[in-house]
Amino acid sequence: MFKKLHDDGAERVTVTIDGREARVPAGETVAAAALIHGLQPFRTSAVSGAPRAPYCMMGVCFDCLVEIDGTPNRQACQVRVAEGMAIRRQDGAGETAP
């Protein structure tokens, strides 16, 4: 869906997106990183199970919710990537903590 205009030479961090490793620019949002690396959909809705992905990218729609490091309901467009971060699709309402 999206591509990078060019390699901006920024520092990179390694994250996993649904288990697959990816090198992404430090400081980028989880949503941007996951869109480029083809996470599709980001989640399924809690009401009907419909597929959802980022819509507004500015934090007002909550359709970009994913599981980050085991915690569901994280707003991918508002969270920045970090070294070692595990990003996963969220199915329906998230699980509570163990």
Nearest in space to 62 (alpha carbons), one of 48, 45, 49: 45
Nearest in space to 23 (alpha carbons), one of 84, 77, 74, 64: 84
The binder of another protein chosen from 23, 26, 40, 84 (CB under 8 A): 40
Contact between 41 and another protein (CB under 8 A)?
yes
Quote the least distance from Cβ 75 to ligand FES, whole Å. 5
Cis (ω within 30 of 0) for the bond into 25? no
Contact between 27 and ligand FES (CB under 6 A)?
no
Query: Binding residues for ligand FES, per CB under 6 A?
Result: 31, 54-57, 59-64, 75, 77
